[in-house]
Amino acid sequence: MNARDLMTPDPACCTRETPLQEVARMMVRHDCGEIPVVEGQERKKVVGVVTDRDIVCRAVAEGKSPADVKVEAVMTSPAITVTERAGSDEVTQTMESHQIRRVPVVDQNGTLCGMVAQADIARRLPRQETGELVRDVSARSSRP
């Protein structure tokens, strides 16, 4: 099984200039906690990610208005990605080593084509692998 088999295809994405309030609405509409940040809607090269936690910790908690702040101010960059051909072991290892719950998937040209989340792993891989992933990703980290 590879990333293409695990991923949710064609995820919602935004650019550096997108207001945080719009990104938060995208998260609600698409029932997700992370939106990939791309160079532009035509060329979807991943340049970062913005999570619900980024919005809360880097904007709201600091008294900034999500209506006034652009994604660029709070996004995590560079983004950790996997290729669509990466095997499930590589996908879970990447998530574990970087302590991330979601990872954008790119094609051979570096263009965004999907997202793999812990829930995707839980639905498709054995329980032991899922448990190890959750444990390792949830270990204390220095990320905000």
Indicate whether 105 belongs to any domain.
yes
pLDDT tens per residue, range 77-107: 999 999 999 998 899 899 989 989 899 999 9
Indicate whether 143 belongs to any domain.
no
pLDDT, mean of residues 120-137: 64
CATH, residue 77:
3.10.580.10
Contact 116, 36 (CB under 8 A): no
Q: Give the Cα separation of 38 and 21 in Å (integer).
A: 17
Q: How confident is the model at residue 144 (pLDDT cuts 50, 70, 90)?
A: very low
Q: Give the Cα separation of 12 and 20 in Å (integer).
A: 14
- pTM, two decimals, is 0.85
Contact 123, 8 (CB under 8 A): no
Pair of tokens at residue 49: 């990610």
Task: Give me the pLDDT at residue 86, please.
Answer: 96
Name the helix (H) or strand (E) containing 138: helix 127-138
pLDDT, mean of residues 25-50: 94
Indicate whether 35 belongs to any domain.
yes
Indicate whether 46 belongs to any domain.
yes
Quote the DSSP letter at residue 108: T
Q: Give the Cα separation of 60 and 50 in Å (integer).
A: 14
Q: Give the Cα separation of 39 and 77 in Å (integer).
A: 12
**What's the structural domain count of the chain?**
1
